[in-house]
Amino acid sequence: MSFGKNVTATKIELIKIRRSLQVSTMVHKILDDKREVLLKKIDEMIEEANKTRMSRYLHYRSRPKNQAKNFLMAFRKQTCMLTRLPS
């Protein structure tokens, strides 16, 4: 079906346009659901990365002062890189 052209006002054309609208609506819903699933998966991955990073931080925190300080500096740098949004 080509859009943007003059369409003859017939019952057949109305049925075609309604079917096209139904398909478009179904595709839109499928894409919206897929987007929601992907966003949820990304949130889970971020949460898992944060837990892993925190457990590493707590592990290295129990080490001598100079090693803990070096790790903390690297941890902060990595966290800053994750929180920056691309332009």
pTM higher than the cut 0.75: no
- pLDDT of 2 above 60: no
Rounded CA separation 68/59 (Å):
9
pLDDT one-digit tens code per residue, 29-84: 999 999 999 999 999 999 999 888 888 877 766 666 666 667 777 777 776 655 55
DSSP state of 63: S
Rounded CA separation 66/22 (Å):
65
Kindly report which listed range (2-6, 12-16, 56-60, 71-75) carries the lowest average pLDDT score.
2-6
Rounded CA separation 35/30 (Å):
9
33 Rama sector, left if φ>0, alpha if ψ -120 to 50, beta otherwise: alpha
In which element (H, E) is residue 56 found? helix 11-61
pLDDT at 80: 62
